[in-house]
Amino acid sequence: MTRKRCKISTKLSIYFSLLMLAIGVLFYFLLPNLLNYPPGTINTQFDKEVSKIYYIYQFAIIVSAVIILFIVYAKVSLRKLDKWVQEKNKSKIPEIRKICLRYPFKLYIMIEFIFVSTVLITLALTGSHPSTLLFKIGILIFSFATLLSSLFLIISKNVFYPVLKETSSASTEVLKSKNTFITKLLFQIFPSILVSVLLVSLIGYSRLISEKGDLLNTYYMSELQNISISDNSDLMSQLEEQLNSDLLNENDFIFIENSDGEIITPNNQILSEFFLKYMHTLSPSNNNRVYETYTIDQQGVITTINYQGEDYIIGIHYEIASSSVLTYFLLASALLFIFNLIILFYMVESINSDLTIVNNGMKNILKNKDNIEYSELPITSDDIVGELVQSFNSIQNMTKENINKIHNNQDMLMEKERLASLGQLIGGIAHNLKSPIMSISGASEGIKDLVNEFDASIGNPVVNNDDYHAIANDMREWLAKIQSYTEYMSDILTAVKGQAVTLSNDKEFSFTIGELFKRVNILMKHELKQAVIYLNVSMLTDENLTIKGNINSLVQVINNMISNSIQAYNGKPEQVIELIANVKDNNVIITIRDYGPGLPDKVKDKLFKEMITTKGKNGTGLGLYMSYSTIKAHFKGDIQFETKENEGTAFYIILPL
């Protein structure tokens, strides 16, 4: 029983959930301290009355919502990959690799969006966070969302790694960079810079505001305790007369709450519901200090006095930091961040430039693998990049030397194969020459008899002119036969002489299809006759069609393939091999087809890529490899093949006109 592999989407969901819980716990304790939440406003009855739900439940909802949204997104967007992991469909490998390579960066953006939008929507629905506070929380959330995305980018790449490793050898894709090295590196370094800058800025801002708030609170509390109130005049007038000159900020103001709960301010300023609720419930236990919202940017200090026999609450509402202070802080942070980002960008660009030089050098080796132009790269640093460049230079030099050795060995091996083929040819040629030589010998005997007859008839009155003409005609017939036999022998010798020329001879001549097939027929005649195999030649184009190149090399290629087809029949006589010539798409296509058992899979996958043979110890595997190299090098053409089990094999030699 095979064990099913865990789905990729499930793995990512588990890892994200754990990471999100860790970030959530960290942020749960960090947020109140960074934003200076007032005392008594977290997870208390006050918190529930103001925000409709406890702070801890807000976090639980946010963390749960983000995790659920991520799981839904992962399950939907990775359904193709999950299906492939179970089925392993080879035809889907290019698409699967594309998903694995690009998905981590898509997740980066998606996590940012899900995290920030969920937090802001949840806090906005509570109605207890003003826009300024939402803005500060949004910036903080964005920085931590970026950190979370960066951490998960590393995790997701590790999750996809086994799939990419498994599909790497089966993939034939040509990689083209969609994400540059700079982009990827910035994606991973950017969060640490952003979080560092924002944390330092917010910590500095919150400490500054906290200390300033303590000073103002002490100062204004002292002022309230030193006032003297008379029942004979208006209370607000007395407060303004005694306190206005001591207010430190033009936005600070005095307020009064009478026994009926009515709030009185000099210029009809409005105190928030949060401020009034905090003043009535929490300020007595916090040294009569009051807060405007869930931050300490605006505060108040109160005291209770008796005026005209009733208790009144009087206080001063003061501003610690205006929105402009926060703007300046954020602007300074942004400039610092941009400055660091620019420096980082140029540092990464410098590394990318060095790596690009090495990469281009590698591409040059691949592009000109048969003739490497050695170009040593400059070493401009003493770090790992410098070592990489140094290693590349060494590899480039070794590769060039090895390629030269391979070329020399390949030429030597191919020459040995050619000589071996020539040796096999000699036996057949000797047999081919035996028949015309014996025929010429017989013809000479016939001519000798005619000469003797002619000599004996001289002066014989019985022999007339017609008899002499008859003798001459018989001589002409014998001479015609001798001429045909000598022409046949000449063709054989020409063909053999051509095949004796080394493969290094790159001279090109023009020859016709008819001439090519004639040489093939002459040289293969004996081998075909011995195997009792018939060569059916089909000329589906003009036999005078001219091809430019080395005819001897092409003859050897075709002969090699015909020999392979003969051997494919494993000694079975009375079989057929087809040799066909036609023209298609401005290419001459020469087809050699047999109807044998076909090529096994292990041979099909390696054919033309390496020297492989199906003949065991009787073969070297050089034949087809040499043929492919010859057609590529000497004719700028190609060799393709089709094979089916028990139906045969067809090789197509494609030569551009």
pLDDT digits (tens, 9 = 90+) for 215-227: 999 999 999 988 8
Higher pLDDT: 151 or 130? It is 151
User: How confident is the model at residue 612, as a pLDDT?
Assistant: 46
Higher pLDDT: 182 or 249? It is 249
User: How far, CA to CA in Å, does 430 sit from each of 419, 525, 548?
Assistant: 16, 12, 30
User: How confident is the model at residue 118, as a pLDDT?
Assistant: 87
User: How confident is the model at residue 387, as a pLDDT?
Assistant: 74
One domain for residues 354 and 257 = no
One domain for residues 92 and 26 = yes
In the chain, the number of structural domains is 5
Structural domain harbouring 441: 407-504
One domain for residues 413 and 382 = no
One domain for residues 286 and 431 = no
Domain boundary among 406, 439, 470: 406
Give the whole-angstrom CA distance, residue 120 versus residue 452. 125
One domain for residues 469 and 523 = no
Q: What angle do CA 49, 55, 61 make, to 5 degrees?
A: 115
Give the whole-angstrom CA distance, residue 368 versus residue 210. 69
User: How far, CA to CA in Å, does 362 sit from each of 94, 176, 386, 393?
Assistant: 24, 15, 16, 10
Bridge-based pairing state of the strands 533-539 and 575-584: parallel
One domain for residues 380 and 423 = no
User: Which CATH number is 617's domain given?
Assistant: 3.30.565.10
Is 137 part of any domain?
yes
One domain for residues 21 and 162 = yes
User: How confident is the model at residue 414, as a pLDDT?
Assistant: 57
Buried b (16+ CB within 10 A) or exposed e, 210-220: eeebeebbeeb
User: How confident is the model at residue 616, as a pLDDT?
Assistant: 44
User: Which CATH number is 468's domain given?
Assistant: 1.10.287
User: How far, CA to CA in Å, does 163 sit from each of 11, 37, 66, 475, 503?
Assistant: 13, 47, 27, 85, 46
User: How far, CA to CA in Å, does 439 sit from each of 425, 436, 478, 496, 509?
Assistant: 22, 5, 10, 21, 34
pLDDT digits (tens, 9 = 90+) for 234-243: 989 999 889 8
pLDDT digits (tens, 9 = 90+) for 353-396: 777 777 777 777 666 655 556 567 676 666 666 777 777 777 77
Q: Is residue 502 very low, low, confident or very high in pLDDT (cuts 50, 70, 90)?
A: very low
| Residues with Cβ within 8 Å of residue 495, at least 6 apart in sequence | 519, 522, 523, 555
Domain boundary among 119, 153, 179: 179
In whole numbers, what is the pLDDT of the chain averaged over residues?
79
Residue 507 is given by DSSP the state -
What percent of the chain lies above the pLDDT cut of 70? 76
Number of C-beta neighbours around residue 208 at 10 A: 14
pLDDT digits (tens, 9 = 90+) for 553-588: 788 888 888 888 888 888 888 899 999 999 988 899
User: How confident is the model at residue 428, as a pLDDT?
Assistant: 56
Tell me if 295 sits within 8 A of 271, measured CB to CB: no
Is 62 part of any domain?
yes
Domain boundary among 504, 527, 559: 504
Is 1 part of any domain?
no
Give the whole-angstrom CA distance, residue 554 versus residue 560. 10
Give the whole-angstrom CA distance, residue 137 versus residue 144. 11
User: How confident is the model at residue 417, as a pLDDT?
Assistant: 57
User: How confident is the model at residue 141, as a pLDDT?
Assistant: 81
Is 244 part of any domain?
yes
User: Which CATH number is 243's domain given?
Assistant: 3.30.450
Is 606 part of any domain?
yes
pLDDT digits (tens, 9 = 90+) for 2-52: 455 678 899 999 999 999 999 888 888 888 887 888 999 899 999 888 888
One domain for residues 290 and 360 = no
Task: Give the range among 18-22, 165-169, 609-613 with minimum mean pLDDT.
Answer: 609-613
Is 199 part of any domain?
no
pLDDT digits (tens, 9 = 90+) for 310-361: 999 999 999 887 666 667 766 766 776 677 667 666 666 766 677 777 777 7
Is 206 part of any domain?
no
Burial tier of 622 (Cβ tally within 10 Å: 0-12, 13-18, 19+): buried
Give the whole-angstrom CA distance, residue 596 versus residue 565. 8
User: How confident is the model at residue 337, as a pLDDT?
Assistant: 65
Burial tier of 39 (Cβ tally within 10 Å: 0-12, 13-18, 19+): middle
One domain for residues 614 and 535 = yes
User: How confident is the model at residue 317, as a pLDDT?
Assistant: 94
Task: Give the range among 70-84, 332-346, 447-461 with minimum mean pLDDT.
Answer: 332-346
One domain for residues 366 and 378 = yes
User: How confident is the model at residue 504, as a pLDDT?
Assistant: 45
Tell me if 561 sits within 8 A of 592, measured CB to CB: yes
pLDDT digits (tens, 9 = 90+) for 617-651: 444 444 677 777 778 877 888 888 888 888 889 99
Is 249 part of any domain?
yes
Statement: residue 308 has pLDDT above 60: yes
User: How confident is the model at residue 116, as a pLDDT?
Assistant: 84
pTM, entire model: 0.57
Q: Is residue 503 very low, low, confident or very high in pLDDT (cuts 50, 70, 90)?
A: very low
Which among 137-146, 309-318, 491-500 has the top mean pLDDT?
Answer: 309-318
Q: Is residue 294 very low, low, confident or very high in pLDDT (cuts 50, 70, 90)?
A: confident
User: How confident is the model at residue 373, as a pLDDT?
Assistant: 60
User: Average pLDDT in the 295-306 region?
Assistant: 90
One domain for residues 24 and 158 = yes
One domain for residues 132 and 49 = yes
